[in-house]
Amino acid sequence: MRPDPVSSGAFAEALFAPDLPSPEGLTGREETRPQRRFSVYRNNVTVSLVDALASIFPTVQNLVGEDFFRAMARLYVAAHPPTSPLLFTYGESFPAFLESFPPAADLPFLADVARVERLWLDAYHAADAVPLDPAALGQIPAEELASIRLRAHPATKMCRLKHAAGTICRLDRAGMSLEGVNPLLPEAVLVTRPAFDVSIEILPSGGAPFFERLLTGHPLGDACLAVGEEAADIPALIGLALTSGAFAAIDLLQESERP
């Protein structure tokens, strides 16, 4: 008599839990050693997910070494099985996992590095859009400038970091030495992809509140005021907003929206 077929839930649970035995009810065309074939399949799935994490977080792997990374990634895969068939969406919770992973406690900046790498991948897969022509701002009357909104490019994200993760990612991905970098210095990064290549911009003083306002739909005047007492070069920040490719269009406030 054939055993009852294994349920999809039991199959998936055993697939991502190497400590569990093969699920009961496995059968095959040859009816021989289905448990062994399942073990091979389980290992292949795990390896493919570990490989995906290594491709998504190459700088994290470079910082800890391949052996450490793959052992750590296996633990992540076991605890966080994928919820989507699209591999590039996998690992969104990896930065949080790193924050609470005791063996990596000596590298407190590792989670922020993973956050930047995740933003890099999201920017890479974001929808295409033509970036704003910097000359477009010159077409706006001076008295209207404070009231304009800059519409974000679909690939643009900004993130405040507790560590110098943006600098680390930029240097590592360029094959440059990290010597002299203080990883414990906080940074804010602007990540976007105006054309084919993803860019990581390290924001200068005042850049974080300035771009936070712009990216959440506030007018340019509000973004400039948000800089507050920080020693910021506002013309330079506006120039970065125009030349970085972080924005795709200019919108004028309607009369009803103006103070």
pLDDT in tens, 26-76: 555 555 565 555 555 566 678 889 999 999 999 999 999 999 999 999 999
Burial 179-218 (b: 16+ CB within 10 A, else e): eeeebeeebbbbbbbbeeebbbbebbebbbbbbebbbeeb
Q: Which tens digits make up the pLDDT trace of 126-142?
A: 999 999 999 999 999 98
- Tell whether the model's pLDDT for residue 148 goes beyond 80: yes
Give residue limits of the domains in the chain: 1-90, 108-259
Average pLDDT, the chain: 86
pTM score: 0.83
pLDDT of residue 166: 98
* Window from 36-45, 183-192, 249-258 with minimum mean pLDDT: 36-45
